[in-house]
Amino acid sequence: MHSPDGPARSSAASRVQDFQVFGEFGEVNPSISDGSTFTFLDPGKLKALFHAPIPGCHLYSRLENPSTRVLGQALARLEGTPAAHATASGMAAITTTLMALCEQGSVIVSDRLVYGGTHALLRNVFPRYGITTRFVDCTDPDAVRAALKGEVRVLYCESLTNPLLRTPDLALLAELAHARGARFVVDNTFAPLIFAPHELGADIVIHSLTKFINGMSDCVAGVICADQAFIDELSDAGSGTCMLFGPTLDSARAASIYKNLHTLPARMIQHGHNAQLWAERLRGHGLKVCYPGLPDYPDRAIFAHQADPRMGSGGMLTMDAGSEDLAEALMLALQEVQVGFLAVSLGYYRTLFSPPGASTSSEIPESERLATGLTPGLVRFSVGLDFEIERSWERFEGCLRKVGLIG
């Protein structure tokens, strides 16, 4: 139990901590698999593997190998799902999951506040294959109820939305989806360890490992966490979208992400600590900030109910600079004094900032962006792990003064 009236669950961090795999020669890290294909002493086993997985056996690295399997097992622990499959990017995880769940004529109900790439996939690409999407505000249960009419295959949302940082009520959404026979798919990229969507009812949990989980901004990767039957379905040699689309993660990358995963709890706490400090200071200057750890955060009650409080309120915050010009001037000033980088992505050990309206959410039609509050002056911050956070704040404050956002 992590909050007085919050959901009881085992801690994701403790489950990951207890996952220990050693290498072939007793190394403290698992051995890195170095083969695209695997030998068989028994031709019968090779034949059988084309029909069903055999414990301990690997077939061909386009699907998986010992390194990607270990990473998948560790991430299944993280999300508390029976199984998981690592992929070559977050988008690969999303695409292969949704293509596995849908067919021509299927309807998806998606939060309208999702990562721009996901929005573009649903809006521009899937209709070509007869899969249509109704976009709704997932923080409005009545709107979701209304959208879930007729036959709906999937209800899709992000646990903490990109970039506006809203928190849908995941337990309620799971109930609504399941009542209509839909699968509930949640992208938990912005809030690993903070939220455990599967424990709140999500059937499938996706991550872009590119972000907080890897934390080094040195590769792209993703994961699909689900029950064993769904992971087996993805892996089927004759029809599985992971086997046949080939969204394959390299084994050396899988091994490095696996090692970084084990520092995630410490990193999330430090990201949250630093973001909380900046959010409060920005708010102290009367600036328009959104951060789940602020008292006026719009979904504060739901966030508090769903989150593991030991993990803080996350590393993401947004600030509306008032105009695109001011946002650009601020980001350039921040980069110049080495507060961080003007770059897309998030979860890096250094601070990253970008203007989502002109970049990672630019795929969303302008009218939709403006209706949801995604203004041209919005800056999204992924706050870094700075030990000297007060010094970084002094520099930040200097930049706010320089561009005229504070007196």
Contact residues toward ligand PLP (CB under 6 A) are 89-91, 115, 117, 158, 162, 187, 189-190, 208, 210, 220, 222, 360
CB of 95 to ligand PLP, least distance (A): 9
CB-wise, 222 or 312, nearer to ligand PLP? 222
CB of 246 to ligand PLP, least distance (A): 15
CB of 23 to ligand PLP, least distance (A): 27
Cα distance between residue 189 and residue 336, in whole Å = 29
CB of 348 to ligand PLP, least distance (A): 12
Structure tokens belonging to residue 390 = 């007060």
CB-wise, 89 or 313, nearer to ligand PLP? 89
CB-wise, 92 or 333, nearer to ligand PLP? 92
Is the omega angle on the peptide bond into residue 298 within 30 degrees of 0, that is, cis? no
Could you tell me whether strands 316-320 and 378-382 are parallel, antiparallel, or unpaired per DSSP bridges?
Answer: antiparallel
Which residue is it, tokens 């998986």? 64
Residue closest to ligand PLP, measured at CB: 90
Q: Is 292 helix (H, G, I), strand (E, B) or coil?
A: coil
Q: Which residue type occupies 23?
A: G
The Cβ of residue 149 has, within 10 Å, a number of other Cβ atoms equal to: 11
CB-wise, 190 or 278, nearer to ligand PLP? 190
CB-wise, 67 or 96, nearer to ligand PLP? 96
CB of 319 to ligand PLP, least distance (A): 18
Which residue is it, tokens 């695209």? 36
CB-wise, 79 or 236, nearer to ligand PLP? 79
Q: Which helix (H) or strand (E) holds 313?
A: none
CB of 345 to ligand PLP, least distance (A): 6
Give Cα separations from 186 to 90, 92, 207 (angstroms): 12, 15, 9
What is the number of residues in the chain?
Answer: 407
Q: Which helix (H) or strand (E) holds 131?
A: none
